[in-house]
Chain A
Amino acid sequence: MKVFVPRDAAAISVGADDVARAIQAEAAARGIELQLVRNGSRGLLWLEPFVEVETPSGRIGYGPVAAEDVPGLFAAGFAEGGDHALRHGRPEEIPYLARQQRLTFARCGITDPLSLDDYEAHDGLRGLRAALAMEPAAIVETVVASGLRGRGGAGFPTGIKWRTVLQAQADRKYIVCNADEGDSGTFADRMIMEGDPFLLVEGMIIAGIATGATKGFIYIRSEYPHAVAAMNAAIDIAYQRRVLGPSVLDSGKRFDLEVRVGAGAYICGEETSLLESLEGKRGMVRPKPPLPALKGLFGRPTVINNVLSLTSVPIILDKGAAFYAEYGTGRSRGTQPLQLAGNVKRGGLIEVAFGLTLRELIEEFGGGTASGRPFRAVQVGGPLGAYFPESLLDTPLDYESMAAKKGMLGHGGVVVFDDRVDLAVQARFAMEFCAIESCGKCTPCRIGSTRGAETIDKIIANRDTGGRELGRNLTLIEDLCETMLDGSLCALGGLTPYPVLSALTHFPDDFDRAPAPAQAAE
């Protein structure tokens, strides 16, 4: 009997290890020979722990399984995919998964994350083999033609970065993977590192071959110990199997890869701050120029890409730029792994071509709020993303459409709130978070965030009484937001106004002020 119990941190956090032990004990008690695979998560996170059993008619999924459900599952003929209240049938037929277009997450949840043989049997290393047969410039141009844009949040074309590094002359170049996934509501980087770590290894080697870099670093946040362990284990295996090392797949080309662990600083997700941190310094933001592509890690030309950008590369090299570019809409090509979280019934990982609307995501995939109370707000793009009300839910989730509504897609995190949310408190939190995490280099961010939190405190204190004090502080906070937007060195100070201004614009009731048109008449 072959059973799959995810090793994903989210699954473990709700009891997957206990379930795995219970299955082993029950199988032993029944004299059943068990092959237990600790797979990645399928991303149906509301069903975790999601257990699958292999049957002649495919894998059958059960969830959410608690350890105490296990004897009952066996009694119901779980080993043959028998009927049970927790049975969901074949995972790929669950509408939540069936509707997705999984390119980056194609293997996640299906394979054993630490089996290189399993990886290769599911099309792994094909992109790298294709790249090794190409000229570096041809690899770069393939990535350019795919239209892939940085999935970390800024959306800069990945291929253009690579071209700059390829053309730079230096004694050494580096590939740095930004795995400092600090945005609340995001977990795609974590899931792919835990569920398909060889994919990131492959993507980084391709980046190295394409640009002439021979050393890579993966900077993973310390809050992700499971991802750190999975990546280290995958790298060890890749060295043993000569996928990494002095001659990648016997090509004569060198690539070395190392994991580095962050230390709890959100700002290190900003690329220049991350580079400072890798060098062993305070994570202070560097002014640009010089671009990291020309003067990056230790002053050398450096490709710095998000996990999801690098893990999109192997399939582009395997199936071609045109294949990838067929997905998506406008200037947002390919697929985006969205992460649906917070107060939502069915949270999880949803990889789809760009263009799905927020409403389709929250209502059709998510099934509404977890609490069953009315929806009130959604924050898209992490702590620096805008809060949208119900009236903006028909906005498509792509870079340009979100920007047109003064929001951003960011790293694809979507956090749902029910009607108990107080947007003034959320706006204050945005400022407070910026104050906690500011590196301190530029004044608008360092001082502005603290003054912003104080000002919103005054608004909250006065909102029931109204009056001139309230009006003055509302004007002040808008001015302050403008200063931070225009005057900050990086996205932390520069985007913190997004959640604040969107809360003010779309949820004026929470600040006890009349909607915008009425105020203009004052």
Chain B
Amino acid sequence: MPEYRGWDAEVARDVIASHGATEGPLLPILHDLQSIFGHVPREAVPLLADALNLSRAEVHGVITFYHDFRAEPAGRHVLKLCQAEACQSMGARDLAEHLRRRLDIGLHETTADGRITVEPVYCLGNCACAPAALADGQLVGRIDAKRLDRLVDAMEAGR
């Protein structure tokens, strides 16, 4: 499970400055910010707009266009369950339903204790070992309800 830090404008400014020579730097910067803070804090928007000579609306537009960038922190653990066709053919919809029953949350939701966020993902490129999931960034294949339960058990046993 990754550890993230709280908002720090100096850190954000350093990240932006480190991309001074990058062509088309906005996406690389957003990835870096999210890897540090766990999401792209709204305080970063004016800094980005200022540094890259963009309007705040343009920066906001980019952040909200891409599924990866979060405006709010996710749960402490993130479970991404593939819901694309190859995984559907091997029971991915049933697995989402299994998770809903066990955790009492649907896709795009976080458990009330802030521990686990469940999200759909559309293809992890593991289609011959379907169904697939990404558990805290680790790719897992050939999952069934039992293996899914073990992943959730591990998340619940931790912090």
Q: From residue 38 to 83 of chain B, which have CB atoms closer than 8 A to chain A?
A: 52, 58, 61-62, 65-69
The distance in angstroms between the C-alpha atoms of A418 and B142, with both chains bound, is 17
Chain A residue nearest to B31 in the complex (CB): A261
CB distance from A285 to the nearest CB of B (A): 12
Chain A residue nearest to B123 in the complex (CB): A184
The distance in angstroms between the C-alpha atoms of A97 and B61, with both chains bound, is 47
CB distance from A269 to the nearest CB of B (A): 11
Contacts of B90 in A (CB 8 A): 342-343, 370
B132 with A184: CB separation less than 8 A = no
- Please tell me which one of the listed residues B31, B66, B84, B128 contacts residue A45 in the complex, with CB atoms under 8 A apart: B128
Of B19-27, B110-118, B151-159, the stretch lying at the interface with chain A is B19-27
A187 with B89: CB separation less than 8 A = no
CB distance from B2 to the nearest CB of A (A): 13
**7 more A-B residue pairs beyond the given contacts A185-B86, A263-B66, A263-B69, with a C-beta to C-beta distance below 8 A:** A45-B129, A186-B125, A263-B68, A281-B58, A347-B127, A383-B84, A437-B122
B126 with A9: CB separation less than 8 A = yes
B68 with A13: CB separation less than 8 A = no
B139 within 8 A of A: yes
Interchain residue pairs A-B with the least CB separation, the first 4 = A347-B128, A280-B26, A341-B127, A184-B84
- Please tell me which one of the listed residues B28, B67, B85, B129 contacts residue A13 in the complex, with CB atoms under 8 A apart: B129
B27 with A260: CB separation less than 8 A = yes
CB distance from A489 to the nearest CB of B (A): 16
Contacts of A223 in B (CB 8 A): 121, 123-125, 134
Chain B residue nearest to A433 in the complex (CB): B122
B87 within 8 A of A: yes
CB distance from B130 to the nearest CB of A (A): 6
B15 within 8 A of A: no
B139 with A9: CB separation less than 8 A = yes
CB distance from A418 to the nearest CB of B (A): 7
As a 0/1 sequence over residues 329 to 355 of chain A, the CB contacts with chain B under 8 angstroms (1 = contact) are 000000000011111100110000000
A46 with B128: CB separation less than 8 A = yes
B141 within 8 A of A: yes
The distance in angstroms between the C-alpha atoms of A281 and B58, with both chains bound, is 8
A-B contacts counted at CB < 8 A amount to: 147
A13 with B61: CB separation less than 8 A = no
Contacts of A184 in B (CB 8 A): 84-87, 122-123, 127
A265 with B125: CB separation less than 8 A = no
The distance in angstroms between the C-alpha atoms of A379 and B87, with both chains bound, is 13
Contacts of B89 in A (CB 8 A): 342-343, 415-418, 421
The distance in angstroms between the C-alpha atoms of A13 and B130, with both chains bound, is 10
Contacts of A9 in B (CB 8 A): 125-126, 139
CB distance from A461 to the nearest CB of B (A): 18
CB distance from A264 to the nearest CB of B (A): 4
B88 within 8 A of A: yes
Contacts of B28 in A (CB 8 A): 260-261
B140 within 8 A of A: yes
Q: From residue 1 to 30 of chain B, which have CB atoms closer than 8 A to chain A?
A: 23-28, 30
The distance in angstroms between the C-alpha atoms of A91 and B64, with both chains bound, is 47
A283 with B65: CB separation less than 8 A = yes
- Please tell me which one of the listed residues A182, A187, A264, A280 contacts residue B24 in the complex, with CB atoms under 8 A apart: A280
As a 0/1 sequence over residues 353 to 381 of chain A, the CB contacts with chain B under 8 angstroms (1 = contact) are 00000000000000000100000000100
A187 with B141: CB separation less than 8 A = no
A264 with B67: CB separation less than 8 A = yes
B86 with A266: CB separation less than 8 A = no
A415 with B127: CB separation less than 8 A = yes
The distance in angstroms between the C-alpha atoms of A14 and B127, with both chains bound, is 12
CB distance from A408 to the nearest CB of B (A): 15
B69 with A224: CB separation less than 8 A = no
B130 with A341: CB separation less than 8 A = yes
Q: From residue 262 to 276 of chain A, which have CB atoms closer than 8 A to chain B?
A: 262-266
The distance in angstroms between the C-alpha atoms of A45 and B86, with both chains bound, is 14
The distance in angstroms between the C-alpha atoms of A278 and B142, with both chains bound, is 34
A225 within 8 A of B: yes
The distance in angstroms between the C-alpha atoms of A347 and B131, with both chains bound, is 13
- Contact (A282, B61) CB under 8 Å given A182-B122, A263-B67, A421-B89: yes
A10 with B85: CB separation less than 8 A = no
- Please tell me which one of the listed residues B31, B86, B141 contacts residue A14 in the complex, with CB atoms under 8 A apart: B141
Contacts of A341 in B (CB 8 A): 86, 127-128, 130
CB distance from B42 to the nearest CB of A (A): 18
CB distance from A459 to the nearest CB of B (A): 19
CB distance from B158 to the nearest CB of A (A): 19
Q: From residue 95 to 147 of chain B, which have CB atoms closer than 8 A to chain A?
A: 121-130, 132, 134, 137, 139-142
A10 with B129: CB separation less than 8 A = yes
A279 with B24: CB separation less than 8 A = yes
A249 within 8 A of B: no
The distance in angstroms between the C-alpha atoms of A342 and B90, with both chains bound, is 6
A181 with B125: CB separation less than 8 A = yes
B66 with A379: CB separation less than 8 A = no
A277 within 8 A of B: yes
The distance in angstroms between the C-alpha atoms of A283 and B132, with both chains bound, is 26
CB distance from A421 to the nearest CB of B (A): 7
Q: List 25 A-B contacts (CB under 8 A).
A: A10-B125, A10-B129, A12-B139, A14-B141, A45-B128, A184-B123, A187-B125, A190-B125, A223-B123, A261-B27, A263-B27, A263-B31, A265-B67, A280-B25, A280-B27, A281-B62, A341-B128, A342-B90, A342-B130, A379-B85, A383-B122, A413-B127, A415-B86, A415-B127, A429-B85
CB distance from B93 to the nearest CB of A (A): 9
Contacts of B52 in A (CB 8 A): 280
